[in-house]
Structure 1
Amino acid sequence: MKQLYIKQKVLSLSGKFTVKNQQEQDVYYVEGSFMQIPKTFSITNTARDEVALITKKTFSLLPKFFVEVNGQEVLTIEKEFSFFKTRYRIDAAGIEVLGNWWDMDFQVLQHGEVVGQVSKEWFTWGDSYQVQILDEKMETIVIAVVVAIDCVKADQAAASSAAST
Structure 2
Amino acid sequence: MRQLYIKQKVFSLSGKFSVKDQEENEVYFVEGSFMQIPKTFSIMDVACQEVAMITKKTFSFLPTFFVEVHGQEMVTIKKEFSFLKARYSIDAAGIEVQGNWWDMDFEVYRNEELIGAVSKKWFTWGDSYQLIIVEDEMEPLLVSLVVAIDCAKAAQSATAAGGGA
1:96 paired to 2:96:
yes
Q: Point out where structure 2 has 5 or more consecutive residues left out of the alignment.
A: none
| TM-score, normalisation: structure 1 | 0.98
Tell me what 1:30 maps to: 30
Aligned positions of 1:15-54 closer than 5 A: 15-54=15-54
Tell me what 1:112 maps to: 112
Distance, in Å, in 1 between the alignment partners of 2:59 and 2:109 is: 30
Equivalent position SS for 1:62: coil
Distance, in Å, in 2 between the alignment partners of 1:12 and 1:162 is: 20
**1:83 shift after superposition:** 1.1
Give 4+ residue runs of structure 1 displaced > 4 Å after superposition. Answer: none
Distance, in Å, in 1 between the alignment partners of 2:130 and 2:66 is: 23
Distance, in Å, in 2 between the alignment partners of 1:118 and 1:90 is: 15
Tell me what 1:5 maps to: 5
Equivalent position SS for 2:62: coil
Aligned positions of 1:113-132 closer than 5 A: 113-132=113-132
Distance, in Å, in 2 between the alignment partners of 1:10 and 1:56 is: 20
Tell me what 1:138 maps to: 138
Give the alignment's Cα RMSD to 1 decimal. Answer: 0.8
Equivalent position SS for 2:163: helix
The alignment covers a number of residue pairs equal to 164
Tell me what 2:71 maps to: 71
Distance, in Å, in 1 between the alignment partners of 2:76 and 2:148 is: 9
Equivalent position SS for 1:123: coil
Query: Aligned AA for 1:52?
Result: A
**1:9 shift after superposition:** 0.6
Equivalent position SS for 1:29: strand
Provide Cα deviations, 1:12-50, integer angstroms capped at 9, x if missing partner: 000000000011000000000111000000000000000
Distance, in Å, in 1 between the alignment partners of 2:163 and 2:137 is: 41
| TM-score, normalisation: structure 2 | 0.98
Q: Point out where structure 1 has 5 or more consecutive residues left out of the alignment.
A: none
